[in-house]
Chain A
Amino acid sequence: MFDEYFILGCSAIGAGLAVIAGIGPGVGQGIAAGHAAAAVGRNPGAKGDVTGTMLLGQAVAETTGLYGLLVAMLLMFVKPLVPAE
């Protein structure tokens, strides 16, 4: 009943659901960038430091989204759920 194509289709749906993880980092990076812009506005002399700190924090926040992307890629291209023939 559950043939290869059924599993492939479910994998595709799962991959689509997995990249929903991208919402969180998007919001987080936006907040970080907004606060960094405010900080530069208050103290334009510290622009270099603020930019460096912002990019570092954003890259760390991005990790959870990348985990979702990784799961999606595994489901789409490595196909771990499809039984090997």
Chain B
Amino acid sequence: MHNKSVAELSKELDSGKISSVELAQQFLDRLKQEDGKYNSFITISDEQALAEAKSADEMRAAGKATVWTGVPFAHKDIFCTNGVRTSCGSKMLENFVPPYDATVTEKFKAAGAVCLGKTNMDEFAMGSSNESSFFGAVTNPWGLSNGEKRVPGGSSGGSAAAVAARLVPAATGTDTGGSIRQPAALCGITGLKPTYGRVSRYGMIAFASSLDQGGPMARSAEDAALMMNVMAGFDPKDSTCIDRDVPDYTATLNEPLKGLRIGLPKEYFSDQLSPAMEAQVRNAVREYEKLGATVKDVSLPNAKLAIAAYYVIAPAEASANLSRFDGVRYGYRCADPKDLMDMYTRTRAEGFGNEVKRRILVGSYALSAGYFDAYYLKAQKVRRLIQQDFINAFKDVDVLMSPVTPSPAFIQGEKTTDPVSMYLEDVFTIAINLAGIPAMSVPAGFVDGLPVGLQIIGDYFSEARLLNAAHQFQQVTDWHQREPQ
């Protein structure tokens, strides 16, 4: 059962060959047996999962089943789940049990899906290797057979590793600078960062509010489309969510790609990209040409400024968002505070890890009196230049294609001592968040036995087209079906 897609599991349940409770139990047993190798889950919520599975069986018996009813999946531990610990990978929230559900959580519950637990992640979604988690690093299922412990990417590294290892068919993720696409690429799965405002951020613990966006992580574009059908849509509880019709993302998966105009941004095929990676990406583009697409070179002249703009905007917004963790209403509080200032400063020094503290300090510095114009305002202006590059590119092409990462999954510990070298991991993904447009990572080959991702970038609200392009590619390739040994 663990190798079946969401659609296939749904059919098994519909046929009555297996009940939701039996299916949940099988997945839970396997998860507990296997996850010691990966550490991809922070919390396995057996009790709630079995209760949800029981409700799912009742829903099906009452003729109210959706595609998702009884299908197991997992949430990144950033989505609040009523009654189930939500840690965001931090000691600060080690014992935080939310009294409410995120909108995304609520939507999966309403569809009857069965959440098996909460996946590991970089602390407060800050990282590209899942090594900043208070609950320990996640190990990429790829490379393990050679005795290598490689990173799964981050910040949604637990979700990516769990899907790659067939512990769950699908999991939610969030993407602020590449946190869905980069781990999807390094683990050989399919991930989509939707347009900013397409998926509600309510109850999704905030990192950088003008960039954060939740999205699907699954083995195929078809399953990602099924997830989008649940996740996308307007939510009055999120003031930045967009009120716009949601298409059926599965309806257009089979449209032919003849005439699709692909642009290759020359800045994303630079020296930073290893020749072996470039060869895989170009091979994938050739597959698209065989499917009838046309290809031309395009330029994003301001893309080189994206990392610099991001490392002002994201830390600045994080420093404001994370000011709520003060030891008063919930979360960690230091022992025996001698006064209020001592309580605040020790609670935050003890509760946050090093990367989170670095970013809060950079952000506070960038926002402090005398520096605001030079840093935050300047970065917001550069952000518009970056957006304008994409708007111009989409006048001539339908989608852009590029690598997701400069190289495949690296060995754990390789980049932890140098924050800036870790930041450069997101060199091809960050501009997309700044512009607010959607982009996918699709398995597109291997280098040294490790998965390579193809990034497909689209204009605002073009998720259906991206999923269509990814699905058609997956009809003529089998990279997405390869399984780590």
Q: Do A and B bind each other?
A: no
Using a CB–CB cutoff of 8 Å, the interface residues on chain B facing chain A are none
Using a CB–CB cutoff of 8 Å, the interface residues on chain A facing chain B are none
